[in-house]
Structure 1
Amino acid sequence: MTAVLLWAALLAQAAPPAAIPPRVDRVLARAPVIDGHNDLAWEIRTEYDARLDAVDLTRDTSRLTKPLQTDIPRLKKGRVGGQFWSVYIPADVTGAAAVQTTLDQIDIVHRIVRRYPQAFELARTAADVRRIAAAGKVASMIGMEGGHQIGGRLSALREFRNLGVLYMTLTHGKSLGWADSSTDAARAGGLSPFGRQVVAEMNRVGMIADVSHVSDATMAAVLDVSRAPVIASHSSARALADRPRNIPDALLRRIAANGGVVMVNFYPAFLSEAWNGWDNGRRAAAKQAGLQDLPPVGRANGALADWDRAHPEPVVDAATVANHVAHIARVAGHDHVGIGADFDGISGAGPVGMKGVDSYPLLFAELARRGWSDADLAKLSQGNVLRVMDRVEAVARELASVPPVDANDPGSATTP
């Protein structure tokens, strides 16, 4: 297919019937999007030396020399009413350094919220989210992206909860002594005894257990022991893209039985096996050409430009994202799917036309075109994750009389 015909097909696909955009706008006005994962804080730290004065979020940050995928105008255009801001740190930062670096990241989120009070407000409960979104602001929540961030200490977990952390992803890219990653060799065989204590303490203090990044065995073990619903804050369906970061159907069903939610990731590598293969090939070609950085398609020179001409990028678009959402809804039910796009954590990538936080309505228009009801669209946008938050808070109230446990990971370097 020529480039002209390809773009014509994309434009035709992206142009819904005239009644759909107003309908989507009405749905999202009543039920603005709550996204499960955004890495803006880490991008500000690494690209702008944690200097908020170097980034004006009231303007389009896609035009910066070091572009971002998030800003206030695009959040408004995307109908975002709630955002879990990730306080990610690399998995190789461990022990006391991990706790300190996590505090630095939490501080960045708090400073963002304080700097733009007209746009953001910190939310600690589901009721906060509803109130803040109704006021036209973005309810700002915090999620930690890896159990290594507590430094092997339940005391640190509790204090992070006191600072507003509402979920913790149990692992990132590396396995821990108490929980296994989907992209590393197993060390815990699912959950160690300390891992089970971590989940129990999260239930007790009202912190959501996030099973994105964990191995299948760890996910199953968490579902065995958690008294509260879990989330997968930014994962897609393995049946459509066979990546270990995605969730197989059997575990989708178990998450549904637990009352949890799987929040679909927008990274093309987790949406399309064809795109993932193309991306791996392009990275290999760039390395062979001696390139340190990977230039965007259309901006490469020499051997990489030749490779690009010979290997057109596979199309990943709103329909591809919708396929994952629809698959999870079919397998787990419409009550158990949400959105965790991973913007500013996906290196400028994203489906066609979905490179930033303004793009959520495209997904809802595609699902509306496929016959989704207003009620199911509202569940996807916010209803399902709010239900999880309500139930996690209820479990914490039920466990209020249980005393804290001062347990530490026996294998942690921070254990006295």
Structure 2
Amino acid sequence: MDPNTLHYDAIVVDAHCDTLGDVLEGKRSLAERSNSGHVDLPRLREGGVTAQLFACFVPVEEYHRSATRHAMQRLDMLHQAIEDYPGEITLATGATDIRRAKAEGKIAGILGLEGAEPLGDSIEVLHCFYRLGVRNLGLTWNFRNDTADGVMEGPNARGLSEFGVRVVEECNRLGIIIDVSHLAAAGVRDVLEVSQQPVIASHSNARALFDHYRNLTDAQIAGIVAGGGLIGVTFVNAFLNRPAGEATIEHVLDQIDYLVRTAGPDHVTIGSDFDGATMPAGLEDATRYPALTVGMATRGHSEETIRKVLGLNFLRVFEQVTGR
């Protein structure tokens, strides 16, 4: 099968974007093609994307004032789009929903929290977010909250708090994927010890290939793999190359090559971070996804491996964690 045909035949999942913030601020509509930003429904469709995980990121200045409100407003943006455009997008709370979306020609929207600030210190609030469809929880952004420390808290950053342990355990019970991107090293260690379900790093690259504090060490990668989890290759320029402005799709393909070799083809997925950072040449927005498939094929990856990286690996973990 030629790479373009393979791409549009495959289930394609992007495990991280920050688009809902722009939609909430009125910069553009999710339903209409825009010349700004990276993601909207027309561009996802053109790029052959089956499912997009929409992260709800709370601005740092709102951490202690109104984090829950900000997260709820972002959730509402996706729920409103689903109500307004039922023929275009559907909510995915399990792998079954993604498969159905593919069969029906729709885009599946997955909801996640990027940082546990909206929970405060309440397991009950976590339950409410679950009922609203949240199925992915990144415990921190770059800084400290009630669950753990983020990666920018420095060399003495702490791991999981007592509340953080409870959150991981409750997410395991409910069926919410734990995401360790942005988490300090001690927190990654603790999550891998506590979690009884696979965990993901939705948008992190391999530090051995490019030394950046947001990328994962080989030991962290091995720990995620041992638990059956996933590393989401991300397109963020700054995590790929120095100078960042010279990053290209080839650097992303280098990361895929490295992770397929070291983590194995069953443990690699894609987490673009579209609308959250500057993108490399060749992956300017969601319409460029087919170029990634062409690049993987050109570099000799098998059809089986390409399908896994594009979406089947995420589907496996999503099904295992959510139970559906």
For normalisation by structure 2, the TM-score amounts to 0.95
For 1:327 and 1:375, the matched residues in 2 are separated by 17
1:56 positional shift: 6.7
Q: Which runs of 5+ in 1 are unaligned?
A: 1-21, 49-53, 277-312, 398-416
Q: Could you tell me how far 1:91 is from its partner in structure 2?
A: 3.2
1:58 alignment partner in structure 2: 32
Which of 137, 141, 152 is residue 183 of structure 1 equivalent to? 152
For residue 132 of structure 2, what is the aligned residue in structure 1?
163
The amino acid of 1:385's aligned partner reads: F
**Count of paired positions:** 324
- 1:36-47 to structure 2, matched below 5 A, reads 36-47=15-26
- Of residues 279, 296, 300, the one that matches 1:350 is 279
Q: Among 28, 33, 49, which residue is 2:7 paired with?
A: 28
Structure number, greater radius of gyration: 1
Residue 23 of structure 1: how far off its partner (Å) = 1.6
Change in CA separation of 1:357 and 1:45 when aligned onto 2, cut-off 3 Å: same
Which position in structure 2 is the counterpart of 1:263? 232
* Counterpart residue identity of residue 190, structure 2: A
Residue matched to 1:8: none
Letter in 2 for 1:350: M
Cα distance between partner residues in 2 of 1:68 and 1:350? 10
Contact 1:123 1:140 in 2 (8 A): yes
| Matched position secondary structure for 1:335 | coil
| Alignment check: 8 A CA contact 2:171 2:177 kept | yes
The answer to which of 92-101 and 363-372 deviates more is: 92-101
1:71 deviates by 2.3
- CA deviation string 1:269-325 (max 9, x = no partner): 0111x224xxxxxxxxxxxxxxxxxxxxxxxxxxxxxxxxxxxx52x2221101111
Whether 1:382 aligns to 2:311 is: yes
Is the contact made by 1:94 and 1:151 (CA closer than 8 Å) also made in structure 2?
Answer: no
Contact 1:96 1:151 in 2 (8 A): no
- Superposed, 1:208-219 pairs within 5 Å as 208-219=177-188
Structure 1 position 146, deviation (Å): 0.1
- How far residue 95 of structure 1 moved from its aligned partner, in angstroms, is 4.9
Counterpart among 339, 342, 346 of residue 270 in structure 2: 339
Deviation for aligned residue 1:255: 0.6
Which amino acid is the alignment partner of residue 369 of structure 1? T
Q: Residues 82 and 89 of structure 2 are in contact (CA less than 8 Å); yes or no, is this contact kept in structure 1?
A: yes
Partner amino acid for 1:322? L
Q: TM-score, normalised by structure 1?
A: 0.75
Mapped partners of 1:131, 1:182: distance in 2: 37
Confirm or deny that 1:88 pairs with 2:57.
yes
Verify the 8 A CA contact 2:137 2:178 in the aligned structure 1. Answer: yes
Equivalent position to 1:327, from 258, 266, 289: 258
Map of 1:317 onto structure 2 = 248
CA distance in 2, matches of 1:186, 1:152: 25
Tell me how large the CA RMSD over aligned residues is.
1.8
Report the Cα offset of residue 55 of structure 1.
2.9
* AA matched with 2:260: A
Q: Secondary structure at the match of 1:183?
A: helix
Q: CA deviation at 1:104?
A: 1.0
For 1:12, the equivalent position in structure 2 comes to none
- 2:48 corresponds to 1:79: yes
Name the structure 1 match of 2:70.
Answer: 101
Contact 2:120 2:146 (8 Å CA) reproduced? no
- Give a deviation string over 1:163-199, Cα, whole Å, max 9, x none: 0001010100211243111112377621122211110
- Which stretches in structure 2 are left out of the alignment for 5+ residues? none
**How far apart in 1 are the matches of 2:142 and 2:216?**
15
Instruction: Please give the alpha-carbon distance, in whole angstroms, between the structure 2 residues aligned to 1:187 and 1:27.
Output: 46
- Say whether residues 1:224 and 2:193 are aligned partners: yes
Q: Does 1:121 align with 2:100?
A: no
